[in-house]
Structure 1
């Protein structure tokens, strides 16, 4: 197939690009390089079935032209700045919700009937059911990021119903691994390089979170898409939680990071049970649905954290471009 990937130069997008090319497919990467990195596409650039198009999802005419001739869209581009979302509330609306509408319109014009979408476990807000299944009732939204992704999910479902599309919505926990460019491991590693004697930690360190390695994430997405599990669904949409069957406390992750670096810093907690407005103190998703298709993660959370630390150590340039 010929796949179109929005945000294809990013952490998840470039990893998906490499896997699709390895599986023998053609790939068109669409990216505005706001956070994407050209270095992530070095391997893809050598593949005959690869094309890079620079552009923004808010430029609908250019997006529509670039998408022509593709068979499926992997819509991964988004503003993922959950922590500072309240500083620029319009960004989530523009880059996540309106951008998703533009992608769907470009698909409709081009007659493309399949879409895979990177959503988030944040749409569950502070869920009462733990682990949280896909059909859990939605509580009040606690972050602009989660709300914007939920709106994107709704539009995808409506387009699948109205225009006969086939939709795969993946609600991720936080993703770790090679090419990781933002999140708690990145922040802690950077701090420890600057001042190895102490580490400032938002919250009290008891926040419980689940994580998934990038390799397992990509394999889960493709496992569902290759099987075509949405074709026979009642509304031609399937929603899958993606994560490991476990969680850890922030203090656990700090311990693994420090052990990997051979450090014993003083931990300076900021207090409270969360790091910022919209930070869910307990995220743990039920993943029985994707596992029922035969997928299983290969790495534990600790292994994912350790491999992330190793990659950051081998690629110090990422801190210069992601300041």
Structure 2
């Protein structure tokens, strides 16, 4: 079952996850509006959508309430992806992270409430689990945040809860776990590890792993995330609304294993990559050692069934990056 013929606003729609959501929902004959200020998103992620009459772009910032109000006019659903990600970025500049991730989020909630949006689905984060050492991560057991970024994403959940209980706005939060895939930017100071490692190997540069490589993550392919967003919009189960869900595959991979898989998939194109060594550096401030999601709640209440394992998704992503980076 797919969502069709709806009017959807996707904030941060020129970013990695947002652009994939724009493309998917357009393919299913929905009207999609992208709101982005292009601070971290890229026009090349959405340029191929410009010719679609069901697509519209608003260049604007969620920190401006009037822009948010304009963007939600006539909208059925909001998929709120706009945020300043990255733990290191938030440690370096907590004020801007808070302005975008908290004040911008609140603006979108207010605008959605006033426009009678049917449902507000937003990107939450696995960083909310903080210093909790319990594995797997279960939605109702969290620890203390370890970074300003983590604080902002937890505050989002609190605001969403209040806007439901006080104003009746339906909300669903998706706690993303290390999402990767096509359109993820390999450049910049805060590039995610998978596209960054792929790009470095392609250039025969040695990637730097923070720590001994034994830290592990629940790496989640983009198509699983798209599925979760759609199921969050489609559900009519009252028990499934106004809550948060882990959005993951439900398995963990060490950074050392990740490096091994990337080299395996890339050497198909360039055998010399097998000889590129890895450099190990100090642990990064704000990082947790291990992350693994329980996805039982999403399976039970939303009918979520992730289609791509980490390894299957990584093969798709590496193939995409090889073509994308060669063109660039």
Residue in 2 aligned with 1:201?
209
Q: CA RMSD in A?
A: 1.8
2:154 to 150, 171, 181: 150
Residue in 2 aligned with 1:191?
200
Residue in 2 aligned with 1:97?
102
In the alignment, is the contact (CA less than 8 A) between 2:217 and 2:254 conserved in 1?
yes
How far apart are 1:306 and its partner, in Å? 2.4
Q: Which moved more, 1:99-108 or 1:303-312?
A: 303-312
Equivalent residue pairs, number: 311
In the alignment, is the contact (CA less than 8 A) between 1:244 and 1:301 conserved in 2?
yes
CA deviations over 1:13-57 (Å, ceiling 9, x no partner): 111111212222111110001121222223422322211111000
1:227 to 224, 228, 235: 235
1:215 to 223, 238, 245: 223
Tell me if 1:134 matches 2:145.
no
Residue in 2 aligned with 1:290?
298
Name the TM-score, length of structure 2 as normaliser.
0.90
Residue in 1 aligned with 2:284?
276
Q: Which moved more, 1:153-162 or 1:123-132?
A: 123-132
Give the Cα–Cα distance (whole angstroms) in 2 for the partners of residues 264 and 281 of structure 1.
28
CA deviations over 1:236-262 (Å, ceiling 9, x no partner): 502111111211100000001112222
In the alignment, is the contact (CA less than 8 A) between 1:123 and 1:149 conserved in 2?
yes
Residue in 2 aligned with 1:267?
278
2:254 to 229, 249, 260: 249
Runs (4+) of structure 1 exceeding 4 A deviation are: none
Give the Cα–Cα distance (whole angstroms) in 2 for the partners of residues 65 and 253 of structure 1.
43
Name the TM-score, length of structure 1 as normaliser.
0.91
How far apart are 1:317 and its partner, in Å? 7.4
SS in 2 for 1:4: strand
In the alignment, is the contact (CA less than 8 A) between 2:224 and 2:249 conserved in 1?
no
Q: Which moved more, 1:180-189 or 1:212-221?
A: 180-189
Give the Cα–Cα distance (whole angstroms) in 1 for the partners of residues 28 and 204 of structure 2.
43
SS in 1 for 2:275: coil
In the alignment, is the contact (CA less than 8 A) between 2:94 and 2:149 conserved in 1?
no
In the alignment, is the contact (CA less than 8 A) between 1:180 and 1:308 conserved in 2?
no
Residue in 1 aligned with 2:318?
309
Residue in 1 aligned with 2:188?
none
Tell me if 1:160 matches 2:169.
no
In the alignment, is the contact (CA less than 8 A) between 2:77 and 2:233 conserved in 1?
no
In the alignment, is the contact (CA less than 8 A) between 1:224 and 1:290 conserved in 2?
no
Tell me if 1:172 matches 2:146.
no
* Structure 2, unaligned runs of 5 or more: 1-5, 186-190, 268-273
Give the Cα–Cα distance (whole angstroms) in 1 for the partners of residues 325 and 112 of structure 2.
38
SS in 1 for 2:29: coil
In the alignment, is the contact (CA less than 8 A) between 2:121 and 2:232 conserved in 1?
no
SS in 2 for 1:83: helix
2:8 to 3, 6, 14: 3
Q: Relative to structure 1, is the Cα distance of residues 193 and 66 closer, same or farther in structure 2, using a 3 angstrom cutoff?
A: same
